[in-house]
Structure 1
Amino acid sequence: MRILVADDEPEMTMVLEALLKREHYSVDVVYNGQDALDYGLAENYDCIVLDIMMPKLDGIQALQALRSKNISTPVLLLTAKSQVEDRVAGLDSGADDYLPKPFDNREFVARVRALTRRGGEYTPKVLSAGNVTLDCSTFELKCGSACVRLGNREFQMLELLMRQEGRLISTEQFMEHIWGYDSEAEINVVWAYISYLRRKLEAVGANVCIAARRGQGYLLEETT
């Protein structure tokens, strides 16, 4: 999952980025409201974390602009301002949650996690496809008694394929969702990780494979 963090305090963004990456999110960071708006309009995020007090545009202005463009991404507002009127203004502008500074790191992560489940949809911790399961807590790919632990990028790619089982996912979508907007990674990194995953699926005896559709992308499908 991809998170956009917008805060003009470099020390704060470093902490938030580290917390989120530890939870295996892909994170983009910007330092003013205008960039938050531009990134939010250009990219597909699972959650946006906005500080209210930022240059160029404040968090509420950026949020209002995003909502006016029908961007429905869940938004968590962060601010040192904790007055009731500020909370009301943020929520009335379209924020999904509000967290005043200073806050406990565990609460921040929990609120982001809750927002990425927006809409009350149940998000299982163990995904299944064919005869394999993927444990989202341990990154373990299992088939019967066979088990292999995936690396972070491998896990994110297979998770996306399993959640979208039977649907095509383009190379560009993998790049945007996993490596992020500003990644310097070359597009052939996707092909490399697809190869790694195919070998691991084969190693555990999976009856599903990652199939390629030339010029379209990849999908997970059962083998015959």
Structure 2
Amino acid sequence: MSVSNPAEFRNAIPWRAGAGLAPKRGAILIIADDSDLAEAMRTALEGAGFVVQIASSVREGLRVGSLHGASTIIVERGADGSDSLKVVEALRAADDQTPVMVVGVSESVEERIAYIRSGADDYLARPFDLREMTARVEALLRRCREDRKTVLHVGAIEIDLVGRAVRCMGRSVDLLPREFTLLEYFARHPKQTLSRRQLLEDIWRSKSHVKTNVVDVQVGTLRRKLDPTGERRFIVSVRGAGFRLEPDGLD
């Protein structure tokens, strides 16, 4: 596995179309180099009612991770352990509290402590029984379910992910479904410049390179709804690069 830029974990996009099944118990993302291990874990977890996606690299993992995050992420410890540690650190740095289990061969107590301190929720040393692995995933979900963030607070913007409601500067904002998804995406990447291509791929799931103004139109509509008066700019245009969310707005 390779992590060239841990901050890329903030740019995870929706599940691939092939993973459209509604999970009975949750969606699990496995990031592992060892294909045999990954398939064995997939079989065990699917048998327990989970929907499972496998990524053979961190970069691929970004392409199959959901916008809201999987229910649990299982990361295989790499050859030197550094990449899987960066995975955990990057998720926590992005304020993503998705439960993470690291699996790997390690006789070092210090290393396991390092993972836990970096934000990992569990470390399962190989070899292990697949039934124990499944039981630990279930325990992680039970422990973390009540702690899951259901409301995003980003500066003057409040997003209720369950009620699908938005408030900006204390005022209710009525958004259409696509506008809500777009705002949530911006809120999960505050102060980051997001390109039009990135937004097309992640929000509209479009790989087309044909020029389109759909992003500009939707961003413009969202911008006006957040601040009808035009006194504050919450979504600013970055010339030649894209758009950026300013959580408190710019005068």
> Normalising to structure 1: TM-score of the pair?
0.51
Give the match for residue 202 of structure 1: 227
CA distance in 2, matches of 1:163, 1:96: 32
CA distance in 1, matches of 2:216, 2:170: 28
Contact kept? 2:152, 2:161, Cα under 8 Å = yes
Read off the aligned partner of 2:72 and give its amino acid letter.
L
Does 2:163 align with 1:138? yes
Please report how far the alpha carbon of residue 145 of structure 1 lies from its aligned counterpart in structure 2 after TM superposition: 4.9
Does 2:71 align with 1:100? no
Query: Map of 1:175-186 to 2, 5 A cutoff?
Result: 175-181=200-206
Contact kept? 1:131, 1:206, Cα under 8 Å = no
Query: Map of 1:1-224 to 2, 5 A cutoff?
Result: 1-6=13-18, 16=21, 19=22, 67-68=32-33, 89-91=39-41, 98-100=45-47, 103=49, 108=51, 113-115=70-72, 117-119=98-100, 124-143=149-168, 145-181=170-206, 187-203=212-228, 207=232, 209-221=234-246, 222-224=249-251
Please report how far the alpha carbon of residue 187 of structure 1 lies from its aligned counterpart in structure 2 after TM superposition: 3.3
Give the match for residue 55 of structure 1: none
Do the aligned partners of residues 185 and 196 (structure 1) sit closer, same or farther apart at CA in structure 2, a change above 3 Å counting?
farther
Read off the aligned partner of 2:168 and give its amino acid letter.
C
Please report how far the alpha carbon of residue 173 of structure 1 lies from its aligned counterpart in structure 2 after TM superposition: 0.8
CA distance in 2, matches of 1:160, 1:177: 9
CA distance in 1, matches of 2:212, 2:14: 18
CA distance in 2, matches of 1:97, 1:174: 35
Do the aligned partners of residues 204 and 88 (structure 1) sit closer, same or farther apart at CA in structure 2, a change above 3 Å counting?
same
SS at match of 1:3: coil
Read off the aligned partner of 2:15 and give its amino acid letter.
I
SS at match of 2:202: helix
> Normalising to structure 2: TM-score of the pair?
0.46
1:162-194 CA distance string (max 9 Å, x none): 111111011111111111155799632111110
Please report how far the alpha carbon of residue 5 of structure 1 lies from its aligned counterpart in structure 2 after TM superposition: 4.7
Contact kept? 1:125, 1:136, Cα under 8 Å = yes
Give the match for residue 36 of structure 1: none
Q: CA RMSD in A?
A: 4.1
CA distance in 2, matches of 1:220, 1:167: 7
How many residue pairs get matched? 149
CA distance in 1, matches of 2:238, 2:209: 25
SS at match of 1:155: helix
Q: Which moved more, 1:141-150 or 1:113-122?
A: 113-122
